[in-house]
Homo-oligomer: A and B are copies of this chain.
Amino acid sequence: MNEIRAAALAQLSTGGPSAISLRAIARDMGLTAAALYRYYDSLESLTEDLCADRYRSMTRSVVAARDAQTDCVSRLRAMCLAYREWALSHPQEYALICGAPVLLTGDTPQEGPAVEKMEAAVDFTLAFLGPFAEAWAGRRTPPPALLPGVLESLDGVVVELLTDKLPPEGIVYFVNGWARLSGAITTEIFGHLRWAASDAEPLFRENLEDMLRQLTA
């Protein structure tokens, strides 16, 4: 399975998510395409397994950056920069991770590699929780009042994991900060900032410092 993943990763890195092909993987390994069905139900489950694997790799990078710092704000900054750095140096893998599932129905697979992929995504997000909660606790001024209905809309399963580390407003700011961070990186990786700058690192740093200013206000 590791060999399969390695071959699939090689194709992903060079040709993008759509270049992953069962037959090409089998060709690289000296096998027949049908042989791969001994290990995966379909190309989709192989892809989801690879996706979970890359998620875990990204998490390791970010956690390493976190553990190299001691101050909670420094940790957050290092994590965000490591996140962007990983995405920039593994753009096709990031495209796979962030690619559009656009799940139509509310289908929760409950089995197979899809659930592992979701768990890996949650683990990645939660790696930011500790430093964020610590920084939130050190705020000097109370945040602006929330719009009515925002707190009630937080009905996701993972929210329960946040309630004992963050107050309700903190959760909203964590989620929206998450959208801001991963959104900025996705926008850059997908090339939607190239009309403005060929190298978006200064823009990202400015964006990041703005986030941290708001967090510790």
Residues of A with Cβ closer than 8 Å to B?
A: 16-18, 91-92, 95, 98-103, 106, 118, 121-122, 125, 144, 146-147, 149-150, 152-159, 172, 175-176, 178-180, 182-203, 205-207, 209-210, 213
Contacts and interface: CB of A to CB of B under 8 A. Distances in A.
Contacts of A98: 100, 190, 192
Nearest to A181: B183
Contact of A156 (B17, B146, B152, B194): B194
Contacts of A122: 195
B206 A150 contact: yes
Q: Which of A157, A185, A196, A210 is packed against the most chain B CB atoms within 10 Å? A: A196
Given A144-B210, A149-B202, A206-B147, A187 B179 contact: yes
* Complex copy number for this chain: 2
A112 to B, nearest CB: 17
